[in-house]
Chain A
Amino acid sequence: QQQVKQSPQSLIVQKGGISIINCAYENTAFDYFPWYQQFPGKGPALLIAIRPDVSEKKEGRFTISFNKSAKQFSLHIMDSQPGDSATYFCAATRGANNFNKFYFGSGTKLNVKP
Chain B
Amino acid sequence: NAGVTQTPKFRVLKTGQSMTLLCAQDMNHEYMYWYRQDPGMGLRLIHYSVGEGTTAKGEVPDGYNVSRLKKQNFLLGLESAAPSQTSVYFCASSRQGRVSYEQYFGPGTRLTVT
Contact = CB atoms under 8 A, between A and B. Distances in A.
A93 to B, nearest CB: 6
Interface stretch (A66-74, A75-83, A94-102): A94-102
A42 interface: yes
B74 interface: no
Interface string B24-52: 00000001010000001111110010100
A9 interface: yes
B40 A107 contact: yes
B102 A49 contact: yes
Contacts of A6: 42
Range of interface residues on A (Cβ < 8 Å)? 20 to 34
A100 B31 contact: yes
A100 B103 contact: yes
> For the side of the interface on B, what is the size category?
20 to 34
A5 B39 CA distance: 15
Contacts of B41: 106
B101 A43 contact: no
A18 interface: no
The 8 closest A-B pairs by CB, nearest first: A43-B105, A104-B42, A106-B42, A104-B43, A100-B94, A100-B101, A32-B101, A96-B98
Interface of B: 4, 31, 33, 40-45, 48, 50, 58, 90, 92, 94, 96-98, 101-103, 105-108
Interface of A: 6, 9, 32, 34, 36, 41-46, 49, 89, 93, 95-96, 99-102, 104-107
Given A96-B98, A107-B42, 19 more contacts: A6-B42, A42-B107, A43-B90, A43-B105, A43-B107, A45-B105, A89-B42, A89-B43, A93-B101, A95-B98, A95-B101, A96-B101, A100-B31, A100-B101, A100-B103, A101-B33, A102-B43, A102-B45, A106-B40
